Amino acid sequence: MELLIPRCNCIFVEEEIYEKKPIPYFKHHSTTTTTTITGTIFGSRKGKVSFCIQTNPKSTNPILLLELAVSTTTLAREMRKGIVRVALESSTNMVFEYSSYSLLSIPIWAMYCNGKRVGFAVKRKPTKADLKVLRKLESKYVGAGTIIKREDEDIMYLRGKFERVNGSHDSESFHLVDPEENMGQELSIFFLRSLN
């Protein structure tokens, strides 16, 4: 069964994947603050994947829910490689309109996955189906697997603790924390509002 996280003890060598604009890693910036939150990546095998962040696994009011520009199976394929870097950059026509808003309130993001432009990620309100998935995962703090929704459509998920790094008013990132250090998985999601 195909899951989102491969179980292996491989050593991965990171390549230079961004030719035009490297993604900033805010963790070592002197003004950064870090917190730990619950992150869930989920979606049907045939549909788009969503990324949800919550203050804790039982929260009924997500901080953010994004529909990403890739399918669940595409993201799973990228994750099997071991390193996934998702960059979300504020869409040019949104920069000035939302320049004074909090970073995660921006509704549309240009999305890059491991250096490739893949389309747009869209912020949305949780649907009844989304909330049903999150309720089923309330008791899970960390894990990956499949929730059978219907015989012809099941939901794949990855849930874990993410380190939330606030770099500035215009930059934020989320990094999957592997408490056992045996997943062989590095997953980071970067948000960047570029005013240039």
Residue 162 has a pLDDT of 94
* pLDDT tops 80 at residue 5: no
Task: Tell me the average pLDDT of the chain.
Answer: 79
Residue 165 has a pLDDT of 94
**115 torsion bin: left (phi>0), alpha (psi -120 to 50), beta (else):** left
Residue 156 has a pLDDT of 92
- Displacement of CA 21 from its chain's centroid (Å): 20
* pLDDT tops 50 at residue 18: no
* pLDDT tops 70 at residue 1: no
**158 torsion bin: left (phi>0), alpha (psi -120 to 50), beta (else):** beta
* pLDDT tops 80 at residue 17: no
CA-atom Rg of the chain in angstroms: 16
- The full length of the chain comes to 196
Look at residues 82, 107, 134 and name the one whose alpha carbon lies nearest to residue 193: 107
pLDDT tens profile 52-86: 999 988 888 899 999 999 999 899 888 888 889 99
Residue 180 has a pLDDT of 63
- When pLDDT is averaged across residues 102-122 and rounded to a whole number, the result is 93
The rounded distance, in Å, linking the Cα atoms of 27 and 167 is 7
pLDDT tens profile 20-45: 334 443 333 446 788 999 999 999 98
Confidence of residue 142 (pLDDT cuts 50, 70, 90): confident
Residues whose CB falls within 8 Å of the CB of residue 114, separated by 6 or more in sequence, listed in order: 17, 78, 81, 83, 84, 85
User: Are 62 and 53 a contacting pair, CB within 8 Å?
Assistant: yes
User: Are 156 and 76 a contacting pair, CB within 8 Å?
Assistant: yes
Confidence of residue 122 (pLDDT cuts 50, 70, 90): very high
Confidence of residue 96 (pLDDT cuts 50, 70, 90): low
DSSP 23: P
Look at residues 5, 38, 41, 7 and name the one whose alpha carbon lies nearest to residue 155: 41
DSSP string, 36-50: EEEEEEEEETTSEEE
* pLDDT tops 70 at residue 98: no
Residue predicted with more confidence, 102 or 120? 120
User: Are 151 and 170 a contacting pair, CB within 8 Å?
Assistant: no
Query: Over pLDDT 90: what percentage of the chain?
Result: 45
